[in-house]
A and B are shown apart, each in its own frame.
Chain A
Amino acid sequence: MVDILNSLTLLTNYIIIPGLTYGSQLALGALGITMVYAVLRFSNFAHGELMSFGAMSTILITWLFQSYGLTFGFLPTALLAIPFAATITILYCLATNSLVYEYYREKKIDPTTYLIISVGVLFFTAGLIRFIIGPDDRKFNDGNRFILKAREFKELTGLNEGLAIKTTQGITIGITICLVILLFWFLNRTRTGKSMRAYSDNEDLALLSGINPKKVVIITWVITGILATVAGALYGLDKSYKPFIYMYLVLPVFASAILGGVGNPIGAIVGGYVIAFSELIFTFAYKKVAGYLLPESLAPTGLIQFLSTDYKIAVSFVILVIVLLVKPTGIFSGKTI
């Protein structure tokens, strides 16, 4: 019995909590990509850099707040900074929209060309970020580190294994839930949200029913800017902010969006968690778990690990390839929001 509890604690500590956290970050990122795809009809490869831009803005504002001695008690100051950082990121999105994307949208350019243009924006944004904050690793998490410490958990339960929940993990999961509820409320209950869905569903009809495309496009960028900032800042808060990492992060984020059915918000969320959990499940060493559950004579000698953690990112690609072969439209057959 105790063995079972111990192994459950082990799995919760190393798979479930980190999976929910990482999955939330992927889901928020994938939602941003899906919104742009559904409304503006292109794959925005610059989204990873938008997340980086959002995280950078959060750091800058956090520093500003800290320099005035403003903190958020036991919570990270970054939480206070996120709304301001999101505003900056939204302005940046709108600037790229009116300087770059709008021009090509009016020309009704094909989606592949659009994709290449977004790669251009990616490089520009990446350069801008290096220019502003430099390439170094930044830690900006203050406040309490843990909601639940491993030692406290052990004392509380008397188990061998500890369970630790970092503040950032709790915050990530909590904020993701709030943001997703808010997004779905917006899309399904408000007129503006409905007109976005209508525009994504049938552009010609939407235009002839009096929907102003400029307004829809602007709102899409506002939502994308918010999602990117929150996703980027939470990721940076949880690990640390490395400007380069977002260029790699965009890969599992894209895999999540495609896996769920790009253009479908529910798909993006499900995709995010599926990718996150698969990465963890396939790279976790089950040696200890087996040690608890199996009789001593059968105790394993190896790590019992499907893949080394070095291949983490490959997991999302294998899943992606399988999805594209079996059901190219993704789990939820995306296209419209």
Chain B
Amino acid sequence: MIFVKNLSKNFGGIKAVSNASLTINEGSITGLIGPNGAGKTTLFNVIAGVYPPSHGKVFLENENITHLPPHELFARGLMRTFQIAHEFSSLTVRENLMMVPENQSGEKLIDIWIRPSNIKKEEAEITKKANEVMDFLQLSSLANEFAGNLSGGQKKLLELGRTMMVEPKVVFLDEVGAGVNRTLLSTIGEAIQRLNRDLGYTFCMIEHDMEFISRLCDPVIVMAEGTVLAEGTAEEIKENQSVIEAYLGTGQKNKKLR
């Protein structure tokens, strides 16, 4: 589905990602873990077209998407969330959610005059969808609140909600779980599994909570210092010596990652 080939990204002297290659299989929930500063978010940013790579290529379903701008990646079914939640702060929560599919269908200004009923109907559908998503994420009471006023965790939920507004092919989640309470986190986990199973979305998720990762992800990819260190099932990763060293430093052999 997604194939990243020898990808590097430098920021001045910092090699945030260096020569990383990985594959995300269609229909999988791939986990991406690694110590802080390993380059995970940078990898997401390059894949999502936020900035161009220094070297290397990215493919989506065998099409080279390396230099496509973000809105065209969106049109091809690629969505992502931000580690530091982004929101349209001067729009309400509902408007934030409705923004996503509205861009997908587009609007010709002339339609407002010529075919107002079509737009009304579409708008009604999108509103319904937004209400469902808010119900699911327990954000309904905040529907008309400006998104800028939400708490950190609520903004994270809004990030996730945005990906649920359309039917993307592949979703990149950058620490959606961070700052979300436990109960809601397991609900989110179930939702991801359900979207994956029933609707066939492919997920790639960065997360630091190993327990959450083990429950959802197969395979798990480990990054450290900009490169891919290991790949395997969660169990294999937990046993992997070089992964343990990357996390805990050397001299910590024979301990298990938890």
Contacts and interface: CB of A to CB of B under 8 A. Distances in A.
A binds B: yes
A61 B198 CA distance: 62
Interface residues of A, dominant DSSP: helix
Given A211-B103, A213-B71, A194 B162 contact: no
A210 B86 contact: no
B126 to A, nearest CB: 10
B63 interface: no
Interface string B153-164: 000000000100
Contact of A201 (B75, B79, B89): B89
Contacts of A201: 88-91
Contacts of B102: 191, 194-195
A9 to B, nearest CB: 43
Nearest to A189: B112
A336 interface: yes
Contact of A209 (B49, B50, B100, B109): B100
Interface in B82-100: 82, 86-91, 95, 99-100
Interface of A: 190-192, 194-195, 197-198, 201-202, 204-213, 336
Given A190-B109, A211-B71, A212-B71, A197 B103 contact: no
A202 B89 contact: yes
A207 B71 contact: yes
A204 B50 CA distance: 8
Contacts of A198: 88, 91, 99
Interface string B11-24: 00000000000000
Nearest to A186: B109
Given A195-B99, A201-B90, A202-B89, A207 B69 contact: yes
A212 B70 CA distance: 9
A105 to B, nearest CB: 12
Contacts of B162: 209
B74 A209 contact: yes
B107 A192 contact: yes
A209 B69 contact: no
15 contacts: A190-B112, A192-B109, A194-B99, A197-B90, A197-B91, A201-B89, A201-B90, A202-B87, A205-B82, A207-B49, A208-B73, A210-B71, A210-B104, A211-B71, A336-B89
Nearest to B98: A194
A282 to B, nearest CB: 35
A207 B51 CA distance: 12
Interface of B: 48-50, 69-71, 73-75, 79-80, 82, 86-91, 95, 99-100, 102-104, 107, 109, 112, 162
B70 A207 contact: yes
Contacts of B82: 204-205
B237 to A, nearest CB: 29
B74 A210 contact: yes
A38 B95 CA distance: 19
Given A190-B112, A209-B162, A197 B88 contact: yes
Contacts of A210: 71, 74-75, 100, 103-104
B118 to A, nearest CB: 12
Contacts of A207: 49, 69-71
A87 to B, nearest CB: 16
A82 B71 CA distance: 35
Given A190-B112, A208-B80, A213-B71, A202 B48 contact: no
B41 to A, nearest CB: 13
B80 A336 contact: no
Contacts of B95: 194
Given A197-B88, A208-B71, A336-B90, 8 more contacts: A194-B91, A194-B99, A197-B91, A201-B88, A208-B70, A210-B71, A210-B103, A213-B69
B144 to A, nearest CB: 14
Given A201-B88, A202-B88, A208 B74 contact: yes
A205 B90 contact: no
Contacts of A211: 71, 99, 103
Nearest to B126: A191
Q: Residue among B48, B75, B88 with the most chain A CB within 10 A? A: B88
Given A209-B162, A336-B90, A195 B103 contact: yes
A190 B102 CA distance: 10
A76 B75 CA distance: 49
Contact of A205 (B49, B88, B104): B88
A25 B102 CA distance: 35
B30 to A, nearest CB: 20
B109 A202 contact: no
A207 B86 CA distance: 12
A209 B112 CA distance: 22
A204 B71 contact: no
A213 B100 CA distance: 15
Q: Which 8 A-B pairs have the closest CB atoms?
A: A210-B74, A210-B103, A207-B70, A205-B86, A191-B107, A201-B88, A208-B70, A198-B88
Contacts of B107: 190-192
Contacts of A191: 102-103, 107
Given A190-B109, A192-B109, A194-B95, A209 B103 contact: yes
